[in-house]
Amino acid sequence: MASTDSSLAAVAAQRRAGGTGLVVAYVAAFFALYVALLTPVMSTLALRVSALSTPDARAGDLALVTGVGAFFAFVANPLAGALSDRTTSRLGMRRPWLLWGVLLGSVGITIIAFAPNIALVMVGWAITQTAFNGTQAALQALLPDQVDELSRARVSGWLGIAQNFAPLAGVGIAAGLTAAGTGPVWLFLLPTFLALAGVLTLVAVLRDRRLAPADVEPFHLGRFLAGFWVSPRKHPDFGWAFAGRFLLLFGFALYNSYQVYFLQDRFGMDEPTALGWQLRLMLVQAAVLLLAGSAGGALSDRTGRRKVFVIVSTVLAGAGLVTFAFAGVPAHLYFGAVLFGAGLGAYFAVDLALVTDVLPNRETEAAKNMGVFNIANALPQSLAPALAPTLLAIGSGGNYTAMFLAGALVAVVGAVSTMFIKGAR
């Protein structure tokens, strides 16, 4: 058995800077996976639940489906990351997880597309979240694996842009298919085909790291489970970065999960009109996000600063939620979309670069610790929908103002937590 020091050296020696072709395939796969994963979160899952539920029960049913799915994402992401760090397959450390995840996730999406009741939708979404989060853990580990530190924020920015353009593409597909009268099945299958194409292309071009069996320590279940705990006392910067991501995405999840119902309930829109407005708002948001993300990533790499971009962006996103809270006519939503897009673009431009800078043991446990960090992605998707019906029920019901204000407050607290990070500028 090789010593721990030699294991570290063996793994670290394999780190390489990926070329332009790999970066393009990487960003494209990131985009494609998130089209399949976020389109249901943004619109199609709400539409499917609405078709199988009643107007009075749909908010609760959606909370149940998204909450159960997010629990499985919460478990799957760090677990897949940790197993990926120990994988000694001939295909490499990350490729097997990219493959099984996108294939099994496609099965879950197909179940949702044909589900005759809410229970089966819940099963399909649990499978989808488990599998796609396994793929996501491997994808995010490629940033420290394949991208050198000087380019990391720039690539992180493009990944953030890809992640945020993905739901725009998905909602565009959904709006176009709905307007054309296409059956609801294709609202799920078409984004899934895109995910398959993107991830499988990355698998084909990736020169993955290989881990020799001799470099893997004997497996101990207790030590393995304990590895999912990253002590905030020993690694406070990682803890503060985790808190900032969790709190921002909690507010984001409140908006995302109920956006279609918000448009229908507050402004009396029917389903095609709500999807059309959702697409317009996302176009505005995406245009601003592209500018903010590109500028933020480049400026962060040039100045070496991360925290200031995260703080400002989080405050902007919170201001966008406040605008949505008090919007009296649909036109007011455009201003909220501008603020929200600027905030998300600047945030995702540097967020992954920030956490990579403070990632514990990134030479040997990059995927596992990125997976732990991604709990901050998954947990808000579980807690926010569970809390949303309570916020909506304040007063006479349908209180989207209370829900969005709560999201804005939580997001701003996330900005404050980022100020405590000491290991990054």
Q: Which amino acid is at 203?
A: V
- pLDDT tops 50 at residue 1: no
Residues 6+ apart with CB under 8 A from 27: 155, 158, 159, 162
Distance CA 137, CA 230 (A): 16
pTM greater than 0.95 (yes/no): no
- Residue 6 is assigned to a structural domain of this protein: no
292 to each of 35, 158, 274, 306, 354, how far by Cα in Å?
Answer: 21, 11, 27, 14, 17
Number of structural domains, the chain?
Answer: 1
- Residue 82 is assigned to a structural domain of this protein: yes
Q: Which amino acid is at 421?
A: I
Residues 6+ apart with CB under 8 A from 41: 66, 167, 256, 257, 381
| pLDDT band, very low/low/confident/very high, at 349 (cuts 50, 70, 90) | confident
- Residue 96 is assigned to a structural domain of this protein: yes
Q: What is the CATH number of the domain that holds 28?
A: 1.20.1250.20
302 to each of 20, 43, 152, 311, 344, how far by Cα in Å?
Answer: 20, 37, 12, 18, 20
How is residue 168 written in tokens?
A: 């725009």
Instruction: To the nearest 10°, report the CA torsion of 359, 362, 365, 366.
Output: 70
- Residue 226 is assigned to a structural domain of this protein: no
How is residue 174 written in tokens?
A: 């959904």
- pLDDT tops 80 at residue 164: no
- Residue 123 is assigned to a structural domain of this protein: yes
Q: Which domain holds residue 28?
A: 16-211+234-418
Residues 6+ apart with CB under 8 A from 420: 236, 240
How many other C-beta atoms can be found within 10 angstroms of the C-beta atom of residue 408?
A: 23
- Residue 5 is assigned to a structural domain of this protein: no
What is the average pLDDT score of the chain?
83
- Residue 10 is assigned to a structural domain of this protein: no
| pLDDT band, very low/low/confident/very high, at 7 (cuts 50, 70, 90) | very low
- pLDDT tops 80 at residue 337: yes
pLDDT tens-digit series, residues 21-59: 888 999 999 999 999 988 887 788 988 999 999 888 888
